[in-house]
Amino acid sequence: MTQPDPTSLEALRRAIDAVDDEVLELLNHRAALAADVGRLKAQAAPEAPFHAPRRERDVLARLGAANPGPFPGAAVRTVFQEIMSACLSLEKPLRVAFLGPEGSFSHLAARHQFGGSSHALPQGTIEAVFGAVDRGRADYGVVPVENATEGAVDSTLDAFLDSPSRICAEILLPVDQALLLRPDLDLAAVRRVYSHPQALGQCRRWLEVHLSQADRVEAPSTSEAARLAREDAEGAAVASELAAELFGLKVAEARIQDLAANATRFLVLGPRSAEPTGCDRTTLLAMAPDGPGALLRLLEPLARRGLNLSRIQSRPTRRRLWEYAFFLDVEGHAEDPSLAEALDDLRAACASLKVLGSYPRTDA
């Protein structure tokens, strides 16, 4: 390819146009190949899942490692996730349920994982996200499980007690909270601040300093908070800047969270766990019989094999008074020999044990 004159703006722009035309031609060629793959998979195994998450992970990892620059490495995943999402939609769009409405951080996490060509299914509650996956109305669900500032999302943990869905991936999403107002409203006139309890907690100090006169009003999600603020002449919302665009609000202040490096961990729900990658995490739900040393008996099989327990959280089962379930995150895959042996010992030590899923770690 002839190199353009680097001192001529017009020549450079013509060269960029030519490259864009070539990229578009290649994208259409890729889409045609993907359609052929879908056709062959449907002929060979009509009942097999049409989505291959491991294949996507391998492609993204290979391209990220092979990128020589100057195209930004961080953008490689975003671009190719959208390309794969668009190509998959030619076969069948993925139905992805999340805590809505659109514009919530769960929506952002779902788009990060599955791309913009997936079919968004916003749900009013976290329990409804589980229900959509459990009943087959969604291929996947995305739910928040913990925040770096506010800790565990209890409603997500509680929903696992009765759901057959499995965890097949996790997403670590940076979370920047913004204060959103109607275009005609000033900060001093705000009397109510709407948001999800987790978001209000993440911005507690900022709100106390700048909006001490306003009541805090809990909403099912940050995007629903934006909708409520739009309808309230004295209302504001703590939500994403995307929610401001969707609901016609102005960003009065950006990045108001108390912890600058704020992040939320999301779980992806699906019909089955992910295949082992060599760098995985497994989430367990254990019910230990009441009595002295119950928690020690729960942890000992893991410690004896040198398995790292990265998180433990207890929740009441709501079935009997003072009965608790323990959620444990363990590094490794349930099919790894050492963890598989530990699970056998745990089953003997627990009243019940459920493997909620094994999936690739995002912090590796």
Confidence category of residue 49, pLDDT binned at 50, 70, 90: low
Beta strand 151-152 with 215-218 is: unpaired
Strands (E), the chain: 95-99, 119-123, 140-147, 151-152, 166-174, 178-181, 192-195, 215-218, 235-239, 250-253, 263-270, 280-287, 309-316, 324-331, 352-360
Distances (CA, A) of 171 to 13, 51, 109, 358: 38, 18, 7, 14
Confidence category of residue 43, pLDDT binned at 50, 70, 90: confident
Sheet arrangement for strand 250-253: 215-218, 192-195, 235-239, 178-181, 250-253
Is residue 361 a contact partner of residue 170, using CB atoms and an 8 Å limit? yes
Task: Please list, in sequence order, all residues whose beta carbon lies within 8 angstroms of the beta carbon of residue 69, skipping any fewer than 6 positions away.
Answer: none
Amino acid identity for residue 242 in this structure: L
Structural domains in the chain, CATH included, are: 9-91 (1.20.59.10), 95-175 (3.40.190.10), 178-253 (3.40.190.10), 273-360 (3.30.70.260)
Nearest CA to 217 among 242, 196, 187?
196
* Vertex 184: Cα angle to 178 and 186 (nearest 5): 60
Confidence category of residue 232, pLDDT binned at 50, 70, 90: very high
pLDDT at 107: 92
pLDDT digits (tens, 9 = 90+) for 150-188: 888 999 999 999 899 999 999 998 889 999 999 999 999
Question: Mean pLDDT for the chain?
Answer: 89
Q: What is the mean pLDDT of residues 228-233?
A: 96
pLDDT digits (tens, 9 = 90+) for 121-155: 999 899 999 999 999 999 999 999 998 888 889 99
Q: What is the mean pLDDT of residues 216-233?
A: 94
pLDDT digits (tens, 9 = 90+) for 62-103: 898 889 989 988 888 889 888 988 888 887 788 999 988 888
Q: What is this structure's pTM? A: 0.81
Strand partners, 173: 264
Number of neighbours of residue 247 by Cβ within 10 angstroms: 23
* Both structure tokens of 329: 């995150």
Confidence category of residue 333, pLDDT binned at 50, 70, 90: very high
How many Å apart are CA 78 and CA 88, to the nearest integer?
A: 15
Task: Please list, in sequence order, all residues whose beta carbon lies within 8 angstroms of the beta carbon of residue 323, skipping any fewer than 6 positions away.
Answer: 287, 290, 316, 317
When mean pLDDT is compared across 115-119, 165-169, 340-344, 356-360, the lowest value belongs to: 115-119
Report H helices in 153-258: 154-159, 197-202, 204-210, 222-231, 241-247
Q: Burial of 289 by CB count in 10 Å (0-12 exposed, 13-18 middle, 19+ buried)? A: exposed
The pLDDT of residue 315 is above 90: no
pLDDT at 6: 78
pLDDT at 185: 94
